[in-house]
Structure 1
Amino acid sequence: MEQSAWSRQPLKLSANRVWRTYTGGRLIEEWQGQERGQDSMLPEEWIASVVRARNAGREHLVEGLSTVELSDGRKALLQDLIQSEPAKFLGEQHAAAFGGEPGVLVKALDSAERLTIQVHPDRAAAKSIFGSPFGKTEAWYILGGREIDGEAPYILYGFKPGMTRERWEKLFWDQDIPGMMEALHKIPVEPGQVFIVEGGMPHAIGSGCFLIEIQEPTDYTIRVERTTPAGREIPEFMCHQGAGFEKMFDCFKYNTYTLEEVLTNYRLEPKVLHHSDGYTERALITYGTTAYFALSAINIRSGSYRFVEEDRFSILIAAAGSGRLAWEEGELEIRQGDQIFVPASVTSLSCSATPGEPLQLLQCLPPDARA
């Protein structure tokens, strides 16, 4: 098949598990159809990724890059396909603004233990400290979760009133982990909730969280705990990402919040865009919240849902159920856990659910090229 044909069809992505400093992943494996999932040091699935993971001691491994399952039986790196024809894969307007960079990264994440307390740089800090045009603002859509040691899923989020940079640095140098945890709000989470985590906001995903994360396309994670909750030592590089221990504190924003302010400003309320007997479409994250990405949920019960044709790509995740994607030149069966890259050149795309088995699709969109 000629090269340009790949940009005219949805592309199924292979599973792409990535090593991290914490354990998890059992719910990802069960979600993808494995009968007995297991937790491991591969707790994240990176989706439509052209980003290499920054894991100290594993630099010799190519971790994080997504592979496409081509219809002729071959496999190819998604980034190679995109680079071959950026405008056809990403859209002309997007390619004019970002070149061959999709500008977004999506993950499925399942935490069997609390992640270390961390922060990601905003774009200004990423540019000045790491020389990167992208920071790591992100958002979470809670898919589900599980109790771990009797505790329900939760997150740590935002400095409580009274925190200062001087106090935060002292907590780090003293490695006062209880003090760090107490400095952040602890918030129980439930399926369907959405949180935006802007660059500079301190946070930690707690144990038992199963979620979809959409973010800017970098792996800059500043960690302030030098050992994980399970007792694994964090290499210095994994704390400061090469910036150094003093400079890494420039990545934090030291604004403080009451719990009410956190929930009002950073827990987003999904908005119903369309509801009928056949399907419901909800906006989870819009360009009005951030220009860096958007996310919607489409629940199809019967009939067919037709996607709006626009000059941009999208990433589809089958969150639940099964069904069929159809476009001008073909069709593709999809089921829970599948991940699909839809090039901008795909036309007349629609989706239907398997009869008697409602389908939930998550549609992840790239940065707003107009912004």
Structure 2
Amino acid sequence: MPELRPVALPANQPRHFYRGGAGIGRFRGAPPPDEYRPEDWVGSATSRFGGDAGLTVLPDGRSLRTAIAEDPAGWLGPEHVRAWGESPALLVKLLDAGQRLPVHVHPTREFARDHLGSVFGKTEAWLVMDVPDGGEGRVHLGFREDVGDDRLREWIRTQNGAALLGAMNEVAVRPGDAVLIPAGLPHAIDAGVFLVEVQEPTDFSIVIEWEGFLPAGADADLRLGWDTAVRCVDGRGHGAEEVGRLVRRPSELPEARPGVRRVWPEGADPFFRAELVGAGAELDPSFAVLIVLHGSGELRGADGMVPLGAGRTVLVPYGAGPATVHGDVEVLRCLPPVADGSAP
């Protein structure tokens, strides 16, 4: 087997139905090929729903999915493989909303098992990187009041996007805010918000507001039919206190160990983890995706050094061993869930 070392990754931006990507271009220092590249799939062994787009290709020409299948313990670690098999149990994206995203929802693990043949649903979380004009961005999280099945179905049937969006909690976000999106929660992101999205490794989105976004609602229901797909939607009312627990501001990020802060609100750990790491942080062996947010420095391990500069993304295999962060740098380290028996 080839020796496993950290790998710096170029942008991987499959074409999408909504506009965006200029923010990714500014962050990475290279513009996207067109205005429909709003997502950069980083260290991805997951493909787009119904196709192969989205897979990371390594410098040797293999897809990451193929490389992991050839050496799962080396890439993921033996404990991870016992718990999760050959899946990294993680998908990381840069997401730059060039327009408002439609109201949509992702399935829970239970729904995905029953209807989509997957052990993973799509709980996700966002770390906000930038907002319009340096002010505040807007995201929309859950309904403010209970929405009955009949009303929800009517809004979907008539594609009443104004009613859907108007019934939701509007939340102001700034750079550094961390937001957890439990599976089933309706949500949308306003134009101009640029974020890192960490999620379960699927491309399952039920788009309940497709008019003006998806041609004729193509695959909006994940080919399940709306009688089934609508069961995925959490139509409960979510008050301000409940929504507030989904958002963690930068000053609220707790220190996990020297040079390391935990990112996501409580409830994310069974699905994925993330740490903000800086100079002196000691990193145990793990499959990880690194997003360099600010500054410059180095990742030093037993087999050498990898430069870290703002806008760079680095894929770290388990087999690369322990490492230490050096320099004036801030890095988001995205990790799978702990392999502790809580696997699906």
TM range (shorter): over 0.9
Gaps of 5+ in 2: none
CA distance in 2, matches of 1:236, 1:174: 12
Specify the alignment match of 2:94 in structure 1.
Answer: 108
Q: For each residue in 1:131-178, what CA deviation from the matched residue of structure 2 results, as whole angstroms up to 9, or x when unmatched? A: 111100000111112249xx9421011111132222111111121111
> Could you tell which deviates more after superposition, 247-256 or 100-109?
247-256
Letter in 1 for 2:291: I
Cα distance change of structure 1 residues 13 and 296 upon mapping to structure 2, 3 Å threshold = same
CA distance in 1, matches of 2:265, 2:168: 26
The answer to whether structure 1 residue 140 and structure 2 residue 126 are counterparts is yes
Q: For each residue in 1:38-57, what CA deviation from the matched residue of structure 2 results, as whole angstroms up to 9, or x when unmatched? A: 871110000111111126xx
Q: Of 75, 95, 99, which aligns to 2:85?
A: 99
TM superposition shift of 1:289: 3.6
Q: Of 284, 287, 302, which aligns to 2:263?
A: 284
Gaps of 5+ in 1: none
Cα distance change of structure 1 residues 218 and 348 upon mapping to structure 2, 3 Å threshold = closer
CA distance in 1, matches of 2:182, 2:40: 21
| Maintained 8 Å contact 1:319/1:360 | yes
Specify the alignment match of 2:45 in structure 1.
Answer: 50
- SS of equivalent to 2:62: strand
TM superposition shift of 1:81: 1.3
Cα distance change of structure 1 residues 233 and 123 upon mapping to structure 2, 3 Å threshold = closer
**1:1-371 matched pairs, under 5 angstroms:** 3-5=1-3, 7=4, 9-34=5-30, 40-54=35-49, 59=51, 62-69=52-59, 74-147=60-133, 152-228=136-212, 232-263=213-244, 265-268=245-248, 269-274=252-257, 280-285=259-264, 289-300=268-279, 304-307=280-283, 309-310=284-285, 312-353=286-327, 358-370=328-340, 371=342
TM superposition shift of 1:37: 6.8
- SS of equivalent to 1:114: coil
CA distance in 1, matches of 2:97, 2:192: 5
| Maintained 8 Å contact 1:12/1:68 | no
Aligned CA RMSD, in angstroms, stands at: 2.0
Question: How many residues are matched?
Answer: 338
Cα distance change of structure 1 residues 204 and 63 upon mapping to structure 2, 3 Å threshold = same
CA distance in 2, matches of 1:147, 1:20: 25
CA distance in 2, matches of 1:40, 1:345: 37
TM-score, normalised with respect to structure 1: 0.86
Computing the radius of gyration from Cα coordinates, the structure with the larger value is 1
Cα distance change of structure 1 residues 341 and 175 upon mapping to structure 2, 3 Å threshold = same
CA distance in 2, matches of 1:186, 1:287: 21
| Maintained 8 Å contact 2:253/2:262 | yes
| Maintained 8 Å contact 1:14/1:67 | no
| Maintained 8 Å contact 2:276/2:333 | yes
TM-score, normalised with respect to structure 2: 0.92
Seq. identity, %: 29
TM superposition shift of 1:196: 0.7
- SS of equivalent to 1:321: strand
- SS of equivalent to 1:246: helix
